Amino acid sequence: QVQLVQSGAEVRKPGASVKVSCKASGYTFTAYPIHWVRQAPGQRPEWMGWINTGNGNTIYSEKFQDRVTFTSDTSATTVYMELSSLRSEDTSVYFCARPRQYIDWLLDFWGQGTRVTVSS
Amino acid sequence: DIVMTQSPDSLPVSLGERATIKCKSSQSVFFSSNNNNYLAWYQQKAGQPPKLLIYWASTRESGVPDRFSGSGSGTDFTLTISSLQAEDVAVYYCQQYYSSITFGQGTRLEIK
């Protein structure tokens, strides 16, 4: 069965960086992109971008373009999201999600989420 | 970006009664070449990721109870729960996938 398992909660100081992992299993890793979505407390989910796990190409939301990097390790079937220059407003739960086959923007499998807290 | 606006923000409904949630997009999410509305509905319970309920505005995801239904086209959409069950208490989000991905602000469904 499809599973996306994310790394554990992180606490960072403002200005630092954080790297979150998302290990995929139960399907052909390179056949599907992985999206990243974050959700601040009590807020709507916010799309950050995606990575094509087949060729490493990325598309980033304009909001995060300058601060986020997605990478993919095919041998480990793992995708990484690194966010830099953290500020308090980045305190959120970060999710990775896999889309439906042939519908690249419809998210139907989600990781459990990784809580990132930014606090001095 | 396409802005998604839901109403109401909070909805108290008695068990067994109908719940209706509205979603409006700032521009049409209908793609005429395949006759599909790029609109999905998700259910999110506390501490969990969103769960896909409905896509193409009205196609129910496998395993989702048939009391959940979606309707609408263009810019106006509705999620209906025909007979509210206790396990339906959650926040519901609409999401467009016509142009990138954006979510509505959510509707908190609670038991009256």
Query: What proportions of chain B, in percent to the nearest 5, are helix, strand and coil?
Result: 5, 50, 45
Instruction: Report the pLDDT averaged over residues B9-34.
Output: 97
CA–CA separation, A72 and A49 (whole Å): 14
B77 touches B57 (CB < 8 A)? yes
Chain A hits for B100, CB-CB cut-off 8 Å, are 47, 61, 105
Instruction: Report the pLDDT averaged over residues B4-26.
Output: 98
| B82 CB-contact burial (10 Å; exposed 0-12 / middle 13-18 / buried 19+) | middle
Q: Residue B37: its pLDDT value, please?
A: 98
Residue A45 forms contact with B (CB below 8 Å): yes
Q: Please report, to the nearest 10 degrees, the dihedral formed by the alpha carbons of residues A20, A25, A29, A34 taken in order.
A: -40
Q: Residue A91: its pLDDT value, please?
A: 98
CA–CA separation, A20 and B11 (whole Å): 35
Q: Residue A34: its pLDDT value, please?
A: 98
Strand partners, A18: A83
- B18 to chain A nearest CA, in Å? 24
Q: Residue B11: its pLDDT value, please?
A: 98
Choose from A64, A106, A112, A115 for mutation: most chain B CBs within 10 A: A106
CA–CA separation, A74 and A30 (whole Å): 7
| Percentage of chain A lying above the pLDDT 90 cut | 97
Chain A hits for B38, CB-CB cut-off 8 Å, are 105
Q: What mean pLDDT is reported for chain A?
A: 97
Q: How confident is the model at residue A96 (pLDDT cuts 50, 70, 90)?
A: very high
Q: Residue A119: its pLDDT value, please?
A: 97
Choose among B111, B112, B101, B109: nearest CA to B45: B109
Strand partners, B69: B80
A112 vs B49, B55, B97: nearest CB? B49
C-beta atoms of A107 and B103 within 8 A:
no
Q: How confident is the model at residue B9 (pLDDT cuts 50, 70, 90)?
A: very high
Instruction: Give the nearest chain A residue to B51 (CA atoms).
Output: A108
**Residues A32-44 pLDDT 10s:** 999 999 999 999 9
Residue B72 forms contact with A (CB below 8 Å): no
Q: Residue B79: its pLDDT value, please?
A: 98
Cβ neighbours of residue A112 under 8 Å, at least 6 residues apart? A4, A5, A6, B48, B49
Choose from A44, A64, A93 for mutation: most chain B CBs within 10 A: A44
**Residues A44-75 pLDDT 10s:** 999 999 999 999 999 999 999 999 999 999 99
CA B30 to chain centre: 16
